[in-house]
Amino acid sequence: MARNKYPEETVQKILAVSYRLFLEKGYDHTTIQDITDALGMSKGAVYHHFKSKEAILDRIYDQYYAESGLHAAALDAPGLSGLEKLRKLLLLELTDPGKLSIDSVTLSFRSNPQLLQLMLTSSIRDASPMIQRLLEEGVADGSIHTRRPRELAQVSILLLNVWIGLFPGSRDEFLAKFQFLKELTDGMGAPIFNEELMAAAQTYYDHFSNLLDPA
């Protein structure tokens, strides 16, 4: 069997075609067969690089963040306190056009049990340490006052990504959940959710109202 001389090029083709199909057909309605047909590849060729459709989506997320510099724009922002960096990070998550495009894929199949597993794992493995780092920066510079940065990071990101992200409810319920998270973090000495972020949450819901509103 001939070896693929350009495996990374093949990976990028798989990601690009899969992402296009996810946007066009919806994640749940896109099969591995659809992907292989569009690529002109065998299933074995795709499975050689990705063990599942979920693995493809996971890689799309990882690559987007790496290439967009979305997190770096907040984490490495000069002259900002830890609290200000946290606010900037969350604002970008709610407003960045590229992030909104990817969210449109995941929101369309938020009842999928594989997505729940992916979001739980990603939240604790990837997002939580980043939030913890900024909380600790805020404690060090005096902009945040919490004795539990690790636990606060984990709870906050799970509430954001899973409780709010996957189970948004109606617009009023969605905003009530954000208000609860604001009161929770305020009470823990991390007043992250200012007026700008709360307004961005409303805009985010309205942007995806056709996917989020259960009515």
In the chain, where the domains are located? 7-59, 70-212
Query: Which whole number is the average pLDDT over 139-162?
Result: 95
How far is Cα 62 from Cα 64, in angstroms, rounded to an integer? 6
How far is Cα 82 from Cα 135, in angstroms, rounded to an integer? 6
pLDDT of residue 1: 40
Q: Which residue blocks in the chain are alpha helix, DSSP H?
A: 7-25, 32-39, 43-49, 53-68, 70-75, 82-95, 97-107, 113-122, 128-141, 149-158, 171-187, 195-207, 209-212
What SS3 class is residue 52? coil
Does residue 83 register a pLDDT over 50?
A: yes
Q: What is the pTM of this model?
A: 0.81
Query: Which whole number is the average pLDDT over 136-163?
Result: 95
**Which CATH superfamily is 7-59 part of?**
Homeodomain-like (1.10.10.60)
pLDDT of residue 166: 81
Decide: 143 and 60 in contact? Cβ < 8 Å.
Answer: no
Q: Out of 62-71, 133-142, 151-160, pick the least confident.
A: 62-71
Does residue 115 register a pLDDT over 90?
A: no
In the block, which residue shows the tokens 């729940």?
A: 116
The more confident residue out of 114 and 23 is 23
Query: Which whole number is the average pLDDT over 101-112?
Result: 77
Query: Which whole number is the average pLDDT over 40-62?
Result: 91
pLDDT of residue 214: 61
How far is Cα 125 from Cα 119, in angstroms, rounded to an integer? 10
Topology (CATH) of 70-212: Tetracycline Repressor; domain 2 (1.10.357)
